[in-house]
Structures are given as structure tokens and as C-alpha cells.
Structure 1
């Protein structure tokens, strides 16, 4: 397996603990290097003038506090990662580090609204989902085991094909399940024969989609295929829960109908329906600047 590089972006909150554990597990599994990055947004505003105060009353420097907390967090990991602390716009710095280091994956964590049971994407995660050219792993679950049951949700677009090829390289040697949900093109299709004919056409489209996938990557496994009639987000939610899926993979070009069902216009509802971790892979030329 070729060497990979992972960037974990953490805000040092509890929601990032699981992301750190997952990133460390993947680094071990892939024998890759891990960079743990924290960005201080506004150092000056958080370090008021403490002139004349005794040392014990001086506010701590955010850089010193962040470094202390980061080193404590990574100390228990089997392999110590590279720890970095920067100041500025978190999204810009995360994307810049991922680009300069030629990272294969960015990992982030999200929180849960306990009142409603929904997962919450913060502003930084929202913007990363829209802009990152590097595959973005959103971690929700506690990493109890390596990813074993991976589902790739496809809308059969060219960008989705790119994402499948990328996922196949990231998880080399693992068998994926390709999941495609569809609804009949017209409500006039009511007869069983018409439904069967429409499904046959969809199955043909899926076969054509898979035939166009680059299968030359080392460790490529022919995926299992699941085709279902219904709304993708609801079907995926039920399938993930019933089949104990570890990871769902989504490909997007920024205007994918499938992704819009998950992200909506503000990229904040992707976690509402699907309870497992999610990997979003955007076709590079189609990244959206917002």
C-alpha cells in the first residue's frame, strides 16, 4: 500500500476526540503520517493586556494552551503525530496545510445536539465541505474498529465515478457496496410492467457507470451493488442503521442532486439522517469557492 498522509483539524473540543481516534486508527492501518492541526482564530483578542498583574493572574497565551492540550491528547497514541498550531482563518489554513503537505485526507469532528439527537456541522466544517479538494472525513462515531462496512452512495455522475475511484484507492483491498436509489421519471408509471422496465433501465445505467470506473488501482475489489426505489436519504438512513454501516462515501461536483439531499443549501443537514461517519469526495475541478 502506498504511503498516505492524513491531516486532522481540531478545535480542541470534546467533539474532536473521536476524530483524533479515527485519524490515528487510519494512520496505523495505512501506515501513513498524521498531522494534527489547531488554528487560533484571534490571538490578540484572547490575550488582553496584563501589565502590572502578577504572573499567576496573567491570562494564558492561546498558543501555549493549545500546545499543552494537543500534546496531552496525542501522548496516548501509539505513534506520535506532527503537531501544528497556527493563527488566522481556520478554513484557509487547513486547506493550505493539506495542499502543501499533499494530504490524502482531512478529518474533522462534529458535535451532537442532545436535545434533538441531530449532529451539528460548525461553520468551519460547513465551509470545508464546500471547498475542500481533499477528501473530507466527518467523524461522528467512536472508532471501535477499522472501517469494514463501507457504502458508496452514487448518483451515477462523472464526479461520482471519480469519487468511487478515489475511495477504492483510499480503502485498497476492501470491498465496497455501491448504493443507488432512484424514483421513476414520471408519476404516470403505475403498472407493474412499467416499473420493471424502468428498473431494468436503471440497472443498465448502473452497469454502464461501473464499466467506466478505472479498475487498475492496486487492490481494487469489484463492489457489491444495491439498487432501490425511493428517496436516497431515507433509504440510506435505514440501510446504515440496519446493516451496521461504518462509513458512507459521497461524491459531489457541487450541484449533485444526491448530495443536495444530504447537505441542503447550507451544508448543515448531512448528519441528520445518516448516523455513521461520512466521507465527502469532491471532484477537484468542481470545488466551490464560498
Structure 2
């Protein structure tokens, strides 16, 4: 995953005229290699020459995601190439990338596949909140020529509550149809708010667990990137009540761009010139 993330980050920097900052984040409980900083500098030299971009290797090893927060705050986009952490700590506290999302409040691109060019097909998971339009804009910012599919899953959680309350099946079907019509109206409004790109924006509505349905739609459409938002939450809340974004991150086969709903614009002086709200690319761990 590390090499794929390096390559994707370099391609993005080249296409957006951005600087690439490289950092090494040690796995929890791992002793970093003695030559980690030297290897990072070597990667920086190679990437800079190969892609004709400015690359700055970080000279200090990060032992915890918190060590990177100050640098993450100056980046427009964090490109993550760290393998998932296993064990009890990750079960209760979540993956290290979750900490960056909660505390860094920056968009994070988790890279799994070897880049073969710009992203060509995107699935953008929308919940019709104010942040949904922002997700679409960030997806287009990665590649303005990509095919974008807006996807919304109507949760069936309330249907279970209605059945538990012994509501009739006819009433449940009526409720489901009302939810569908409401979702279709909201989707129509969102889709046509991107008038200039209308012919490249598709829309689909599913029914069931949002996280599960996003994964199914990614496989069905063979999208090479899923864009999903993340509501502000703590590790405890995500553990007990679940998080759509973290579920998608855990199980999705494609690359995933996670955008915190409360994300801040990058503090770098030239960020606004690259993406709407930001994009220098910081890459965490090789």
C-alpha cells in the first residue's frame, strides 16, 4: 500500500502544482527501522526527479498520529498509505487514520490500488446534508473529467422499529415509498446543482445499511474511488454506534476519500489556489 500511496500522491501533486510532504508513521508498538529517515529522503529524491515536483521529507519519525497533526493542518489533502492495524487496540480505539480524521479535520485519501492514471469513475455517498455538495466538488477536484455517481442509501432501521411496534405491512410499504420519493426529490436537487457538469453526474438510490450499500454500489459500478463524509464523533461513539465512513474504509476494495463534515481549509498560504478549500498533499508512512 505504501508504494501505491507514494505514486498516487506524486501524480496528484504534479497535476495540481502542489508540494508533497513525506512523513513516516510507525505502526503501534513497532520499532522504526534505523534507516527510516534515510529511506524517506531517498523516496523524496526519486519522486521529485520522476514527476518534476517539489518533495520535502520529514526529518523526524512520528510514533503516534498526534505527532503529525501540526503538519496535517497545513496540508490540503492527506494521502494515507499505512496498512490497517490489527488487535484489541484498533478494535476499541479505531485505526490510526481515524485519529487523523477526528483531530486533523482534513480530507484523507486512503490508497489501496496501484495508480493507472487519474481517477475515472467515482461513487460519492451523499446524505443530503449541507456537506454533500462539498463531497462532489472535492471528487471533481481530483479529476474534473471523471464520471461521478451520486449514491444515497435509504436506511431500513426505522422499518425494524415499526415492525417491532406491530405496525401493519401496508403502512410500512407506504412509509418506504414516502422515503423513496423524498430521497428522489433531494437527489434531483443535488444533481442539478452541478449544471455545468450535469452530463457527467449520475445518481442512484439504494435501500438498506448505508455502509453495506456503498460497498455494493462500488463493486457494481467498478468505481476506482469512493468519496464519503464523516460526521464529528469520538472513538467511543464510533465503537458503540458504528461509523459509515470507517466501515467503508475497512471493507472497500477501491481507494477511499474521507471528508470530515467539519473539515477546515488548509492553513497553507496557497491552498485556495489548488482546490476549493484546499489540496498540498501530505503522505503518511511508507
TM exceeding 0.5 = yes
| C-alpha separation in 2, matches of 1:32 and 1:221 | 28
Higher helix share: 2
SS in 1 for 2:59: strand
Structure 2: gaps of 5 or more residues? 87-92, 266-286
Q: Could you list the per-position Cα deviations for residues 41-90 of structure 1 after superposition, in whole angstroms to 9, with x for gaps in the alignment?
A: 9xxxx79xxxxxxxxxxx9565445434x347537733254132232555
- Alignment match, 2:102: 130
- Alignment match, 1:204: 185
Q: Could you list the per-position Cα deviations for residues 9-39 of structure 1 after superposition, in whole angstroms to 9, with x for gaps in the alignment?
A: xxxxxx3111011112222333433232335
Structure 1: gaps of 5 or more residues? 1-14, 48-58, 115-120
Q: How many pairs are equivalent?
A: 243
CA contact (8 A) 1:129 1:267 kept: no
Q: Could you list the per-position Cα deviations for residues 123-156 of structure 1 after superposition, in whole angstroms to 9, with x for gaps in the alignment?
A: 5323112223221100111212321110100122
| Shift, 1:221, TM fit | 4.7
CA contact (8 A) 1:136 1:281 kept: yes
CA contact (8 A) 1:40 1:86 kept: no
Asked whether 1:29 is paired with 2:24, we answer no
Asked whether 1:94 is paired with 2:56, we answer no
| C-alpha separation in 2, matches of 1:148 and 1:240 | 13
Question: How big is the alpha-carbon RMSD for the aligned residues of Structure 1 and Structure 2?
Answer: 4.1
- Alignment match, 1:67: 41
Mapping of 1:232-251 within 5 angstroms? Answer: 232-251=210-229
SS in 1 for 2:214: helix
| C-alpha separation in 2, matches of 1:166 and 1:111 | 24
CA contact (8 A) 1:19 1:139 kept: yes
Mapping of 1:1-290 within 5 angstroms? Answer: 15-38=1-24, 63-68=37-42, 70-71=43-44, 74=47, 77-87=50-60, 88=62, 90-100=64-74, 103-111=75-83, 123-183=95-155, 185-186=158-159, 187=162, 188=167, 190-191=169-170, 195-210=176-191, 215=194, 220-221=197-198, 223-255=201-233, 264=242, 269-284=247-262
CA contact (8 A) 1:39 1:85 kept: no
Specify whether residues 232 and 189 from structure 1 end up closer, same or farther in structure 2 by C-alpha distance, changes over 3 A only. Answer: farther
- TM-score normalised to the size of structure 1? 0.66
- TM-score normalised to the size of structure 2? 0.67
| C-alpha separation in 2, matches of 1:255 and 1:171 | 30
SS in 2 for 1:86: coil
- Which structure is richer in relative contact order (CA contacts within 8 A, separation 6 or more)? 2
Higher-Rg structure is 1
CA contact (8 A) 1:140 1:275 kept: yes
- Alignment match, 2:281: none
- Alignment match, 2:283: none
